[in-house]
Amino acid sequence: MTAITLSGVKKRYLKNPVVHGVDVTIESGEFVVILGPSGCGKSTLLRMIAGLEDITEGTIAIGDTVVNKLEPRERGCAMVFQNYALYPHMSVAQNIGYALKVSGMPRAEREAKVLKVAKSVGLDPYLTRKPGELSGGQRQRVAMARAMVREPKVFLFDEPFSNLDAKLRVAMRAEVRGLHRGLGVTSVFVTHDQTEAMTLADRLIIMNQGVVEQVGKPSEVYHRPASLFVADFIGSPAMNLVRGFFGEDGHFRHGKGGMIHLPTVAPSLVSQEVSIGIRPELVRRVPANTKDAIAAVVDYTEELGAARLIYADADGSRLIAVDHGTDALGTGMPIHLAIDEADLHVFSQDTGRRIELGAAQRAATNSRINA
């Protein structure tokens, strides 16, 4: 089995840095998803592992071998490309078997292997067709079969589902997951779709502007975001993030004179410039006379079916709450919201990094992560 070790990996195009120094170890047999907005350097990182881009600085090791100087074909990786990159003039069988042909495998053995792999992804009726005669999902399967047939040490996926429709995407996701369970091959998957990332990954690598923001299990990343960027990027609707500072009186001050009473959090953070964050599903609606309730005004609501989202304005700061009530809510109506201090995330406005709070918060997040 094969681990991938990236140490101090940097990439510059001409003078422009694209990847700023990545240190990550991908464990053997792990399914890792690199997630980030477009242009964050995630594809570049993947292509450096594949050997399609030079590594400007640092080393990448696959297993025990440093592969910096190795050609793509010598690295034992197979890749599924965004646009599939099928050879348009070759049949499905020829596409799948091409790598084996290049490596000089005898025809009989090759054909047997191709057939076996094609069967496993349900392509055996289409072996003689050309890629142009296949549907999007079928092409996707050919691309996967082409990668599988080589029995590689590492699978690389470069946004492979971005050309599929939503329904097919869900189906392919399950298939990839099943494939990984069956083969147990170390896999690296690049995407900008967070649902895809959350559902597929053993661990996520979240990148932004060439920097790794956080590495962790999906639940860890969701419930304990390591930075403002991650907090904002992961989750839909996005986390409520309110900028302000703590006063000595145990109140958090924000917006146009808004105050939130947070007595246990405040003392350690007095007068720091911070953002506090809370997931919308943890913002509760409470009756008007509740102690420490935050008074707000409804801007608008979005009906989701199972619940609704309330977009509210609290003294100039936007708060979103997931609400299960059924009463009529119109623009301008006053409501009252409450949050639990243990559910709070605090991020330094200076560094953008998470500030760890007390034991109560840790216990709350741990229980969610392990749930």
Partner 1 sequence: MIERSPIFDFITYATMILGLVLVLVPFWVTIVAGSQSLQEVSQVPLNLWPSGHLLENIQTAWARADLGPKMINSLIVAVGVTTGKIVLAALSAFAIVFFNFKARMLCFWLIFITLMLPLEVRIVPTYSIAANALLPFQTLLDTFGITSLLEMMSGVRVTLEWNLLNSYTGLILPLVATATGTFLYRQFFMTIPDELVEASKMDGSGPIRFFFEVLLPLSRTNMLALATIMFVSSWNQYLWPLLITTDRANFGTVVMQLKALIPAQNGTPDWNVTMAGALIIMLPPLLVVALMQRWFVRGLISRDK
Of the candidates 134, 120, 132, which has an alpha carbon nearest to the alpha carbon of residue 168?
A: 134
- CA 329 from chain center: how many Å? 34
Among 5, 7, 56, 82, binds partner 1 (CB under 8 A): 82
Nearer to partner 1, 87 or 300 (CB): 87
Beta bridge partners of 252: 246, 260
Of the candidates 79, 52, 74, 55, which has an alpha carbon nearest to the alpha carbon of residue 63?
A: 74
Cβ atoms of 37 and 233 closer than 8 Å: yes
Q: How far is the CB of 91 from partner 1 (least distance, A)?
A: 12
Q: Is residue 88 a contact residue for partner 1 (CB under 8 A)?
A: yes
- Name the one range near partner 1 by CB under 8 A: 55-63, 72-80, 202-210, 271-279: 72-80
Among 37, 39, 65, 89, binds partner 1 (CB under 8 A): 89
Q: Is residue 71 a contact residue for partner 1 (CB under 8 A)?
A: yes
Nearer to partner 1, 102 or 306 (CB): 102
How many residues make contact with partner 1 (CB under 8 A)?
Answer: 25
Q: Is residue 48 a contact residue for partner 1 (CB under 8 A)?
A: no
Q: Is residue 163 a contact residue for partner 1 (CB under 8 A)?
A: no
d(CA 170, CA 179): 14
**Which amino acid is it at 106?**
P
Binding mask 282-301 for partner 1 (x = CB under 8 A): --------------------
Nearer to partner 1, 73 or 116 (CB): 73
d(CA 244, CA 344): 14
d(CA 273, CA 347): 9
What is the β-pairing status of strands 240-246 and 273-278? antiparallel
Q: Which residues contact 354 (CB under 8 A, 6 or more apart)?
A: 224, 225, 226, 227, 231, 345, 346, 347, 348
Q: Is residue 50 a contact residue for partner 1 (CB under 8 A)?
A: yes
Q: Is 74 helix (H, G, I), strand (E, B) or coil?
A: helix
Q: Is residue 52 a contact residue for partner 1 (CB under 8 A)?
A: yes
Among 102, 108, 166, 288, binds partner 1 (CB under 8 A): 102
- 185: which 2 tokens? 């091959």
Q: How far is the CB of 49 from partner 1 (least distance, A)?
A: 11
- Name the one range near partner 1 by CB under 8 A: 44-52, 59-67, 106-114, 215-223: 44-52
- Scanning the structure block, which residue is given the tokens 């996005």? 238
Q: Is residue 116 a contact residue for partner 1 (CB under 8 A)?
A: no
List of residues contacting partner 1 (CB under 8 A): 47, 50-52, 71-73, 77-79, 81-90, 98-99, 102-103, 146
